[in-house]
Structures are given as C-alpha cells and as structure tokens.
A and B are shown apart, each in its own frame.
Chain A
Amino acid sequence: MIGAALDRVFREAGGRIVAALASRFRDLTLAEDAFAEACRRALETWPATGMPNDAAAWLYSVAVRAGLDAVRRLHTAQRFAAGAEEAVAADIASDFDARLIPDERLRLIFVCCHPAIGAETRAALTLRLVCGLSALEIARAFLVSEKTLQQRLVRAKRKIAEAGVPFEVPGPSVWPGRLDAVLSTLEIAYAKAYEDAAGQGPYAAYAAEVLELSRLLVQLLPDEAEVWALAALARFTEARRPARLAVDGRMVPLAEQDPACWDRGLIEEAAVYLRRAAALDSRRPRVLQARLHAAWCARTRMADPPPWPQILALYDALLTVRDDAVVRLNRAVALAEVAGTETALAEVERLDACALADFAGYHAVRADLLRRLGRSDEACRAYDAAIALISTSAEQRWLVERRDALRS
C-alpha cells in the first residue's frame, strides 16, 4: 500500500522536488541524493505513522534537511548552509504545504538541455531528473546498457557542476538557440518512445512521460508557438499508434492506416494545442509540422481521400523556413501523388546522395519511386540499402515484403 502510494508521489512530485532542491543547493547530484534519502526515510516511517496529509511537502522538507546535512559533511562554502537553514525553518512551520515548494522545473529543464551537454544525454538527463524515470527505464529506451547510461548521467552532472552551467532560465538574447535545444531534447525523447510502435516494451509508459513533459512545458512557456506545436505534434503522432502495425507486426504506412483506429480524444487534444500555436505564429517550422499531422488526422475513414495536395502545400511552406534533405524527401513523397512519380524521382535524385548514404529514409523513398516506375533492379538495390540501415523491425518487415514482391 505505502509502496504504491509512495511510487505515485515520486512520479507526480519527484521532478518538482528535485528541481526545487537543485535550485536551492545548485548541485544536481546532491539534489538527487537528498531526494533519494527522503524517499528512504518515507519507506521507513510511513508504514508506522501513515502517509502525511501532504506527502510531497513532507518529502521535500525531509530532503532539504538531508541536503543540508550533506552540505555540512562536504564542508562546502558557508553561504549555502546559512540561507538554506532559515528556509527549512519556514518549511517546517508551513505544516507540509506542497504549494510552498518553489516550481523550479523550467530552470531544471534548461540546465538539463544546456548545449554544453551532448544531445542524447540531455534527453536522458531530463527524463531522469524532471520526469523521474529510472536509469534502467531510460537505458532500455536508448538501447544502451544501464551502466553506460549511469556513466553518461554522472558525467553530465559533473560537467554541469564543473563547467559552471548556471541554474537559470537564459536571457532573451540567447533564447532562440536554447529553447530549440529544449524542444529537440523532447523530440529525441519522443522519437525513442515512437520507435517501439507496439508500445508494449518495458517502457510502454515512456511516451506518456514525454506527452506530460510537453504539457508541462506549455504551462511554463505559454507564449512560445513552437512549444505548443511540439505538444500538438507528439499527440497527433501518438494518436496514430494503434494503427501503425499490421497483425503480423509489419509497419503500415500513414496513407494506408485505418483512421477509424486512431485515438480521436488525443487528436482533439492535439488540435487545441495546434490552434494556440498557430495563433501565436503559424509559420514556425514545428507549427507547420503539426499542421501536416493535423491534415492527416482530419481523415476519419479510409474512404476519405488522402490529403496529398494539402500536404504538398504545407511542405512547400516548410521548405521556406527549414530547407533540409529530410523535408525535401518527405515533400517528394507528396509530390509523387500530386505531380507524378517521375517528377518526384527527379527531385530526389537532385539531393546529395553522399550526404544521405546512411539515411534509411532516403533509400526507402527512392526504392518506392523506382518500383512505381517499373525500374525493379534499381528499386531492389535501394530496398537492400534501406533494409540494411533501418533500426526497427516493423519497418524492416515492411521493406522486405516490398522488395520480395518485386523479386518474385
């Protein structure tokens, strides 16, 4: 009983408590250790005393004391101890009111997503400290051993402390780059959850954590179009999860998915986020990407024609703000449907083949266009290249099936 209740408190309030501790002590490792110590004491005392009325505030208060003890033991500068001690007195007098835990999660997110930390480690660190996922859960999602992930987390925390990464939300002058780092961290985190199409792996709850984090970010940064857009994007994508796999575990391409299987509730939620994003700035890259997903999700049954002309128009708009090979490749898929396969293939052949040699999507799109033009040998070779590079089994099965159909 206590174990389950404690688990819920950890999940719901852990990020906020760790953020507040990190802000107070300016030390991520100390904050994490202090929170762990508070949880340990809760497990010891709650079975006898019962759960306190405000469990989160209890944990925070005990963690602050544990943190102060640690600071004293470390003999670090007096300045921490003096200020924090007064604050503890205030916490105890407040009779465990969680509303008095300062919400420092935005600062913590910006610290975890600092460009001085490697991109993949940023996502892991954010999920660990802000979402409270265990190192084992994150390690599974990132397909690395728990030991490797632990080492990365330790190294990142040490770097943050030693390099003097400030525990601040950065000022407006560096805002664009820094906010982008936060958003791409969330994208990396979501991409990891997305790879598990069946959503049945040991990290099935992982996508939900990322959706929750995107909702939190919207609350914390309500004036940023791309923050709303990312929350919309993740929801549109997640809504289609039930239709992404055929019964045999093969991937079902977007245009062939049965819209009746999509999660309408989540799509409506996404639409609300997108409306706000578009009202703030409808031309930002992530807003346009969310609009692409919205166009697809407007389909409610197989009889509705795929919205290819609208998709092409949105990719044209996206090209004006984000011109890269991935956008051009996706645009070519829509172009094939609107302007014909030859035109689309000509576009794809204009891309830098060397730069895209290791990108499975490039070979998969080329293969499909070549197949449609009846250039079977070239198509088979492109399928082979795509199959060799692809990392998920669902996509691999789909590509193998396409290739083998050509050979028979």
Chain B
Amino acid sequence: MQYALLLYEDESVYGPGKSGPEMRGIVARHIAFREELGATRLGGAGLAATASATTVRTTKGKQTVHDGPFAEIKEQLGGFYLIEAPDLDATIAIAKRVPVLRDGAVEIRPLLQIRE
C-alpha cells in the first residue's frame, strides 16, 4: 500500500519563516532519514512556513480564497513523505522514526487507491 506521512510540528521552534539555526539541524536529519528509507520512499517535501499559505475553500459550490493555512492550530503541517509499505503496522514503525525536533505528530494517511 501507499501512505502519506504528514508531519505536524510547531513551526515557531524553527525560527521566523523556518530559517533559524534549528532548521539546518533537522534538515540534515531528514536527509539522513531519506537515505535510510531508500526505495520505501516514493516522494515527499518540506513545506515553507504557514505564513506563506493560501487556502482555496469551497463552500456550497462557491470558492473563496483565504490567506493562511486550512486550520489555525498549535502544530502545523510542515512536510510530508510518500512511502510504500505492506500495511499499517509497517507504516507506524516508519512513522516512529521520522525526525521530530520537540513535540509533534505524524499523521498516517493511506493514499486513495483508484481501481479501474
């Protein structure tokens, strides 16, 4: 199966605009983790700070564009991995190895399987 690992952390710990000194450290750890995952990793990316986010919301067919992320919460979506794993247990094991600086959460979402 294919899964997305969505990384939620408090982006303020990485400094303004995610350019503080702690950012370099975590990026190095992600690069190492990416090596470790090898072929298990299908894709992924880090995201710029939520200050740069724009949301297109559709309500009752009407679309509006908003400044900011989809939800204002304590922790923000900061990046994601796309991986291939046999099942949820294997994915949980991988999610537990994702580098996190302090508190944070990794949400596991199976990718939609489009059947013909």
Contact = CB atoms under 8 A, between A and B. Distances in A.
A164 B1 contact: yes
B89 A163 contact: no
Interface in A166-187: 166, 168, 170, 173-174
B87 A166 contact: yes
Interface in A100-122: 114, 116
Given A164-B1, A164-B110, A116 B93 contact: no
A18 to B, nearest CB: 21
A372 to B, nearest CB: 44
A116 B93 CA distance: 13
Query: Per DSSP, are chain A's interface residues mostly helix, strand or loop, or mixed?
Result: loop
B88 interface: yes
Nearest to B91: A164
A165 B89 CA distance: 7
Nearest to B1: A164
Nearest to B112: A162
B86 interface: yes
B110 A162 contact: yes
B88 A174 contact: no
Contacts of B87: 164-166, 168
Contacts of A114: 88
B93 A163 contact: no
B105 interface: no
B1 A174 contact: no
B108 interface: yes
A168 B87 CA distance: 10
A173 B86 CA distance: 17
Nearest to A163: B88
A119 to B, nearest CB: 17
A173 B93 CA distance: 10
Given A165-B89, A174-B92, 9 more contacts: A163-B88, A164-B1, A164-B3, A164-B86, A165-B87, A166-B87, A170-B89, A174-B89, A174-B93
Interface of A: 114, 116, 162-166, 168, 170, 173-174
28 contacts: A114-B88, A116-B88, A116-B92, A162-B110, A163-B88, A163-B108, A163-B110, A164-B1, A164-B3, A164-B86, A164-B87, A164-B88, A164-B91, A164-B110, A165-B87, A165-B88, A165-B89, A166-B86, A166-B87, A166-B88, A166-B89, A166-B90, A168-B87, A170-B89, A173-B93, A174-B89, A174-B92, A174-B93
